[in-house]
Amino acid sequence: MDKAVVLVSGGLNSAVLAAIAREQYEAHLLHVAWGHRAAERERSCFEAIAAHLRIERTLTADLGWIASLGGNSRTSRKIPMEEPTSLGKEVPSTFVLGLVPAMLAAAATWAGAIGAKRILIGTSEDHGVPGPAMSSFYPDYRREFVQTFNLMLEYAKPHGRELLVEAPLAELARQEVVLLAKRLKLPVEKTWSCYRDNDEPCGKCVGCTTRAAGFLRANIPDPLLLEPAKV
C-alpha cells in the first residue's frame, strides 16, 4: 500500500479526509502548529482523530513563525475578524497569504523523507452555503492552486520520483462532508471549526457559520453544540 501524508488540522474536513485516506493508503497524519487563536483546541482534536482512527504515524510541524509575522485576525486579536454577513469580494482578515503553501511544503518534505507518493489536503472550493464561495475568500483553496503546486513539485523533486498533491474534497459542499462524516462514524464532536476560540464556538466566524449551515442542510444536529466535547 502506498504511503500518503495527510494534512489534518483537527477540523471537520480534515477528519473526513483522514478517514478516507486510511482506507486507500498507509496514512501518515501531519498537523501544522502555526500559532493561531484556536491552535490548542485544534491540536487536541488532531490527536483525538488520530487515536480514533488508530493511526500511529503522526507528526506535528512547528510553523509558529507564521504567527510572529502578524497581519491577520487568525493570529492577532488586535485585528477585527469579520462576520460572514459583512464579507463581500474583498479578501477577509482571516486569510493568511502563504499559509497553505507553507503547509504543503512541510508535507512535501516529510513525504520525501518517508517515500510517500501522495499529499492529501482537505480544502473545499465552495461549501455550498449562502454567500461567496470559500475559494473567493481563500484563493489557495482553488483546484488551480493545487494544480500549480503540483507543477512546482515537478521541478522541485528528483526525476522519476512520484509525488502528487490531491484535494479529494474540493468539489464537496459542507453538508456532503457532514454526511460523509456520519457514514464513516466519525466523532464530529471531537473536531473544531471556530477561528476565534479554544473553548466554545463563537458562532459568528466563517468556520462556525459554514459548519452550522452544513449540519443544518444535512439535517443532522451538531453534537459539539449539543454538548461541548472535552478533548
Tens digit of each residue's pLDDT (9 = 90 or more) over 186-213: 999 999 999 998 889 999 999 999 999 9
Residue 22 to residues 27, 45, 48, 130, 171, Cα–Cα distance (Å):
5, 17, 15, 32, 20
SS3 of 17, please? helix
pLDDT band at 99, cuts 50/70/90? very high
pTM of the model: 0.94
> Where do the domains of the chain lie?
3-226
User: pLDDT above 70 covers what percent of the chain?
Assistant: 97
Q: Cα(50)–Cα(19) distance, rounded to whole angstroms?
A: 9
Q: How does 95-109 read in b/e, with b if 16+ C-beta sit within 10 Å? A: bbeebbebbbbbbbe
Q: Cα(200)–Cα(116) distance, rounded to whole angstroms?
A: 37
Give pLDDT, residue 228: 52
pLDDT band at 131, cuts 50/70/90? confident
Beta bridge partners of 117: none
User: What's the CATH fold of domain 3-226?
Assistant: Rossmann fold (3.40.50)
pLDDT tens figures, 29-64 = 999 999 999 999 999 999 999 999 999 899 999 999
Strands laid side by side in the 58-62 sheet: 58-62, 26-33, 3-7, 118-120, 164-166
Give pLDDT, residue 227: 62
* Choice between 78 and 90, residue whose per-residue pLDDT is larger: 78
Q: What is the mean pLDDT of residues 65-90?
A: 89
Give pLDDT, residue 211: 95
pLDDT band at 214, cuts 50/70/90? very high
